Structure 1
Amino acid sequence: MGEEKDVRLFKEQKAVVERLCSTYRTGRIGHAYLFDGGNGTGKEAAALFFAKLLLCENPGNSVPCETCHSCRRIASGNHPNITIIRPDGQAIKKEQMSNLIFAMTKKGYESGRKIYIIAQADKMNVAAANTLLKFLEEPEGVVTAILMTDSYQSILPTIQSRCQRIPFLPPSRKVMIEELVRMGITSTMAATVTTMTANLDEAIHLASEDQFAHMRKTVLKLVEALDSQVHETLLFIQSEWSPLFKEKEETDRGLNLLLYAYRDIVAYKAGLQSTPTFPDQQEFFKGCAMKMTYSYLSANMEAILQAKKRLHSNMNRTLLMEQLVLSMQEGLLVV
């Protein structure tokens, strides 16, 4: 599996690999990098590739040998000079950062560079980010940090400015759709799940999940319900939406699907040729596009984005959705 990931990395993120190899070749290795790209773009594979290269005992042509003791231990997740931090629940907490810095500064490591990798760095809470910031400003010894995120704008500007940003290209959606269809997934569902994730394994999982199919259907019913009376739409939220989208993560997924539905409508209105998220809704969405103005569509998409932000402030989710649909229908009455 590791080799397969490396092959995909070299193929899909050629510019990233070349930049990392060039960095190694020139010896200008930074103390902090920010790998920025969507889910499934190979950020972690690239981080481990770079870690291998920096610690490899026999590198050749600026790539790791993959066979030395160091490379093998990194591949198996057992190298003492490498620490990986992931969110503890919803966030990366201050205690995790403090423990990381303590581990980085104490003895007991092998000689050579120490590397720490922070997955989903945008999930650091404020205290954790500030703790990391101090360490980024004054690292002890030969240390390289690799932060990974799919939400660059959510990283504190003070942290952004202390890291070298390395952007990752999204994988070709067309190629992913073709792969999913080859595996027996309908082209309609393949189009939807490849909008939700750039990770092929996750796309396969979503496409085969009954709950996701139910979510998709319910989001499309909501788009229709928004064209009816306010009291009917509120009843829909209470009777059909809320029982299905119970958790924060599920609501976030539902709001993403709703956002993509309106993005499809905008694309039809503008005559764009991009692959829609909901190809089976072409006629209905084209009808919506004819009667909705750009300003209304733009206001709706902004309202959904604001709801996504409020979702993470622990607001009551049913109330959040009721306020959202009222806001969206208000705009429709004005049009």
Structure 2
Amino acid sequence: MNYNLELLKSTQPNVLKQLQAVYKNGKIGHAYIFEGANGSGTEEMMRFFTALLFCENPQDNVPCETCRSCQRLSSGNHLNLHEVFPDGQFIKVDAIDVLLHELSKTGLEAGRKIYIVHEAERMNVKSANKLLKYLEEPDGHVTAIFITNNINALIPTIRSRCQHIKFQPVAKKIVMTYLEQHGVTKSIASTISMITADLKEAEKLSQDDAFAHARKTVLKLVESLSKNVHESLLVVHEDWLPTFKEKDQMELALDLLLFAIRDIVAMKANPEIELTYPDMKQYWSGVALRSSYDVLSSQLQAILVARKNLQSNMNRTLLMEQLMLNLQEGKSFV
């Protein structure tokens, strides 16, 4: 159970300080809810906090990583740590039964016990109510951490018995810096940071040839708009549709297209603004000079309508042909 402290300092500094203060003051609660979007650091912070609570010799409210407890935790065999995961769609009552049985055992390991409920929003009513009975009679030597991306999906009686720790989405600038430190170009890092705040997903995208090809295809389509509708339709049929065959791929592509038009709007308002496609700055600048806000606004709206039609399962070929006609209407690109 390892963690990256430096990453936590940059992505969730307030939460880190809050939990370190809780530990320093000896006011450790019996139950916490870590709520945050995927990739916001809830799992990473849970690993840090668990290590801190177990550590026998912490230094400046940081686990020493060398004591017996830290070593056991790192190797994955600490007897006082219990984790519950979803089985299929839900966390079932059987998993809670096993957890409560493990927590009832004595004599295996002295000191605090910690249990983690991953994706806690997946507890069904029976499993949640069974665990609630345990929460209603807290043991001072047991700490619970519920990890969720939606606190409202937990039953109110569990929410009321836990301290709520809210994780903010990772800032775009932090995602960019993280990717650039891992060898990703500024242009690609900037585009990815608009798509996700999940550092692991961002790193995965940066290594994905399919994403690089998707980005290239979207930019090719944008450039075709400066010619005529026939050229745009040619790109749609020869490049776009063969590349974006699945619904989720098309959804991402429309988002990337939307970001391109937003870049042009941003360049028109402020030529020095940070862009989703920094490598296109010179081209965007020329388009911005020749484009009116009204037409750019209409283009943004046309893409949003196309995205909505995609969710309604409109035929994708027809959707893109219609979108090209709508984007060319008014001829903002000349």
**TM-score, normalising length: structure 1:** 0.70
Shift of 1:277: 1.8
2:258 is aligned with 1:254: no
Match in the other structure for 2:89: 93
Call closer, same or farther: CA 1:59–1:277 in 2, change over 3 Å.
Answer: same
Shift of 1:52: 1.9
Shift of 1:28: 4.9
Q: What's the CA shift string for 1:94-150, capped at 9, x where partnerless?
A: 2x444543333333666644322425x7xx6xxx3654993598252455233254x
Match in the other structure for 2:45: 46
Q: Which amino acid aligns with 1:31?
A: A
Match in the other structure for 2:168: 167
| CA–CA distance in structure 1, aligned partners of residues 234 and 198 of structure 2 | 36
Give the secondary structure class of the aligned counterpart of 1:138: helix
2:329 is aligned with 1:326: no
- Counterparts of 1:138-217 in structure 2 under 5 Å? 138=132, 140-141=134-135, 142=138, 144-149=144-149, 155=150, 157-159=152-154, 162=159, 163-167=164-168, 169-170=170-171, 172-173=174-175, 175-176=177-178, 178-180=180-182, 183=183, 185-197=184-196, 203=202, 206-217=205-216
Aligned length: 308
| CA–CA distance in structure 1, aligned partners of residues 127 and 292 of structure 2 | 50
| CA–CA distance in structure 2, aligned partners of residues 326 and 198 of structure 1 | 32
Q: What's the CA shift string for 1:44-72, capped at 9, x where partnerless?
A: 22110112223344445544343344333
**TM-score, normalising length: structure 2:** 0.70
Give the secondary structure class of the aligned counterpart of 1:27: coil
Q: Conserved in 2, the CA contact under 8 Å of 1:176 and 1:194?
A: no
Taking only aligned residues, the RMSD between alpha carbons, in angstroms, comes to 4.2
Q: Which amino acid aligns with 2:319?
A: Q
| CA–CA distance in structure 2, aligned partners of residues 165 and 321 of structure 1 | 42
Match in the other structure for 2:239: 240
| CA–CA distance in structure 1, aligned partners of residues 318 and 280 of structure 2 | 24
Call closer, same or farther: CA 1:68–1:131 in 2, change over 3 Å.
Answer: farther
| CA–CA distance in structure 1, aligned partners of residues 104 and 229 of structure 2 | 64
Match in the other structure for 1:303: 305
Call closer, same or farther: CA 1:265–1:8 in 2, change over 3 Å.
Answer: same
| CA–CA distance in structure 1, aligned partners of residues 322 and 227 of structure 2 | 12
Q: Which has the larger radius of gyration?
A: 2
Call closer, same or farther: CA 1:130–1:248 in 2, change over 3 Å.
Answer: farther
Q: Which amino acid aligns with 2:167?
A: I
| Unpaired stretches in structure 2, ≥5 consecutive residues | 107-111
| Unpaired stretches in structure 1, ≥5 consecutive residues | 150-154
Match in the other structure for 2:275: 276
Q: Which amino acid aligns with 2:118?
A: I
Q: Which amino acid aligns with 2:69?
A: S
Match in the other structure for 1:223: 222
Call closer, same or farther: CA 1:137–1:261 in 2, change over 3 Å.
Answer: farther
- Counterparts of 1:29-108 in structure 2 under 5 Å? 29=29, 31-36=31-36, 39=39, 41-59=40-58, 61-80=60-79, 81-83=81-83, 85=85, 93-94=89-90, 96-107=91-102
Match in the other structure for 1:152: none
Query: Which moves more between the two structures, 245-254 or 270-279?
Result: 245-254
Q: Conserved in 2, the CA contact under 8 Å of 1:52 and 1:64?
A: yes
Match in the other structure for 1:16: 15
Give the % identical residues.
29
Query: Which moves more between the two structures, 259-268 or 63-72?
Result: 63-72
Shift of 1:93: 0.7
Call closer, same or farther: CA 1:255–1:44 in 2, change over 3 Å.
Answer: farther
Call closer, same or farther: CA 1:57–1:325 in 2, change over 3 Å.
Answer: farther
Q: Conserved in 2, the CA contact under 8 Å of 1:264 and 1:276?
A: yes
